[in-house]
Amino acid sequence: MGTGLLVAGLLAAACLLYSVPHRGPGTLVLQRSARDDPRPGIADAPLMLDLTGAILAAGAPVAHALEILAASCDPVVAARLRRVKDALDLGAEWESAWETAGPGAARGRRDCVDDLRETLRFAAGTGAPSAAIIHACAAQLRRRRNREVERKAAALGVKLVVPLGLCALPSFVCLGVLPVVWALLPSL
């Protein structure tokens, strides 16, 4: 049995070594794609706003803030932010630069890039130090999301009453009440 386990272990190690690409003698290279990355980047609007506010508070212009932010975002969001940054660097107007980002969410729904666009509009339009406004918008988005989650949780509680009533109540009656009533009835 011990020999069988040893052979199985050696076969597994050989399969692993041959499945990993080699670069030069003795050097293993592990290749990962963006899909394999367990933490592909951020796509959370409040977090993106907080990071952008910190970058702007440090004195960076909006286009540079978008470039820095894109480096830590989800690949899809990062590509959209880089298109906006490139358009701004080429001298495009604010609205046309953000139109180059393209749609990100389903129709009628806002995504993190849309929230970032609306919040940064004031900073880009006026040139005013707007880090405090950006942090306030991030807090507002978090509160809005928390209220939505609480509303959905409350609705779930109401929806769970029906299965409880249809499944648990009849079984309680059949297993708890009927035997007691049956035992109390006089024997015929």
Answer with the residue of higher pLDDT: 101 or 181: 181
* Model confidence, pTM: 0.61
Give residue 172's pLDDT band: very low, low, confident or very high (50, 70, 90): confident
> How would you classify residue 97: left for phi > 0, otherwise alpha for psi between -120 and 50, otherwise beta?
alpha
Nearest to 50 by CA among 77, 71, 69, 75: 69
Q: pLDDT digits over 12-60, tens only? A: 555 444 544 444 444 444 444 445 555 577 878 888 889 988 988 888 8
Q: Is 55 within 8 Å of 49 (Cβ atoms)?
A: no
Sign of CA pseudo-dihedral 22, 23, 25, 29: negative
Backbone angles phi, psi at 28, to 5 degrees: -95, 140
Mean pLDDT for 64-78 is 88
Q: pLDDT digits over 85-136, tens only? A: 999 889 888 888 888 877 765 444 467 888 888 888 876 777 666 788 889 8
Give residue 162's pLDDT band: very low, low, confident or very high (50, 70, 90): confident
Res 170 pLDDT > 70: yes
Question: Cα-atom radius of gyration of the chain, to the nearest Å?
Answer: 29
- Interior/surface letters 70-102, b for 16+ CB within 10 angstroms, e for the rest: beebbeebbebbbbbbebbeeeeebeebbebbe
What pLDDT does residue 132 have? 85
What pLDDT does residue 31 have? 42
The H-assigned helical ranges of 61-159 are 62-70, 75-89, 94-99, 112-126, 131-159
What pLDDT does residue 39 have? 55
DSSP state of 72: T
**Burial level of 53, CB count in 10 A (0-12/13-18/19+)?**
buried
Res 7 pLDDT > 60: no
